[in-house]
Structure 1
Amino acid sequence: MEKISVSAFLLLVALSYTLARDTTVKPAAKKDTKDSRPKLPQTLSRGWGDQLIWTQTYEEALYKSKTSNKPLMIIHHLDECPHSQALKKVFAENKEIQKLAEQFVLLNLVYETTDKHLSPDGQYVPRIMFV
């Protein structure tokens, strides 16, 4: 029993170390990436699906949701967050997700809001809410 516990503990430590090492960005690498890649102009999609129709503000999204009788999908994320980047990649590249997204009014937020209705369970990213 003790061998199994020690083995499981070592496996968890190794897995945690590997995941932490893959998601952390070294300061030098981060600097090189920003300097070598020119910043492209951003659309409202911010890379989440350029062919989809996105709204600019929460108020506009609520209005379009009400008038079109479609539910509202709000995506909260941060540009520098590795988890947000991973979700964005899957969201943008998956054809089924893109097809489903057409049935929603879409809002893409890269900043946190003070509106408590937009963070009923906390202010974490990435976060997708449906209204």
Structure 2
Amino acid sequence: MAGRAGRIVFAFGLVACVLTGCGKADEGAEVVRGAPSARTIPFDLYTHCGIDEARIGSTYYEAETPLSDGSGNPPEGWDNPTQRGTMTLESETEAVFTDDAGHEVKFRARPGASAFKRICA
């Protein structure tokens, strides 16, 4: 009888764990203090044709304020073709890229997008 009760308790615990999301977080992700739903991941931002778009998982984002040197390149102070930093996913539709150089770019999801707006050559 004790064995059956133990299995029932274990089963309820397992169900509770699945429903509440306990378990291993995404590799490289960390919870951001003060923003329970936010998480930060390492991110290499493609900058070769300026800072305009990003893809995180299967979601395409566009910069709130695109950045460029005016000739389709990243602005001065940005690495080319990518800038290493972190992307903080603040919600399902908002993300913020930051790096050790002090850059910060806010991105918003493009609902329904399945590709980048333009392909950089």
| TM-score, with structure 2 as normaliser | 0.26
Structure having greater relative contact order (Cα 8 Å, sep ≥ 6): 1
- Of Structure 1 and Structure 2, which has the larger fraction of its residues in strand? 2
- Of Structure 1 and Structure 2, which has the larger fraction of its residues in helix? 1
| TM-score, with structure 1 as normaliser | 0.25
